[in-house]
Copies of this chain bind each other. A is one copy, B any other.
């Protein structure tokens, strides 16, 4: 069975979004600050990264078979225009269906209910590949349910001063991790990968 990971660009002070949903230009600058062009599954999205970041991103993409995201991220990105850049099915946790969704051509599934059942559906969709869960409230639920295997941090050299923490409201702190089991130095980002230690 594939691992369950969460991955996000995070500021040095631990935020994945700044105050009032600002700060993304800083957090995501590494997607567009290098020479390596990286097409994605979404024809309207391509990246230009440093070589180290491109290699890291390709590895993440190769490993991933499905995603679980929250409604907030789905709305912030406009549902990625119907195709997530990783080109995999997406399970969206939400209590109300968004307008004009689902779409026949877009591999998005909408679920209310427990994180466990959403994750089980994503695992079935992913087969032997990994399931990525979005940072913030979804990752927190998965971590608190002891179902998170890995934490990937794209550490960005900015202090945002507030906003949305990456992993907060832990039900059983402290949570110990192992690693980093991988480090890569991109341009304007350090890619770090940790394994959640099972007690």
Residues of A within 8 A of B (CB): 11-14, 18-19, 23, 26, 151, 153, 155, 157-162, 165-170, 173-180, 183, 185, 190, 192, 194
Contact = CB atoms under 8 A, between A and B. Distances in A.
A18 B165 CA distance: 15
B161 A175 contact: yes
A160 B174 contact: yes
Contacts of A190: 180, 183, 192
Contacts of A169: 161
27 contacts: A12-B14, A12-B153, A12-B166, A12-B167, A12-B177, A13-B165, A13-B166, A13-B168, A23-B174, A26-B174, A26-B176, A155-B192, A157-B178, A157-B179, A157-B180, A157-B194, A158-B174, A159-B170, A159-B173, A161-B174, A161-B175, A162-B168, A180-B185, A180-B190, A183-B183, A183-B185, A183-B190
Contacts of A161: 168-170, 173-175
Given A13-B14, A13-B167, A194-B12, A157 B183 contact: no
Nearest to A184: B183
Contacts of A160: 173-174
A174 B12 contact: no
Contacts of A153: 12
A177 B177 CA distance: 26
Given A12-B14, A13-B14, A180-B185, 12 more contacts: A12-B167, A12-B194, A13-B168, A14-B165, A18-B174, A23-B174, A155-B155, A158-B176, A160-B174, A161-B168, A162-B168, A183-B183
Contacts of A151: 12
A26 B170 CA distance: 17
A133 to B, nearest CB: 15
Residue with the highest number of chain B CB atoms closer than 10 Å, among A13, A153, A175, A179: A13
Nearest to A14: B14
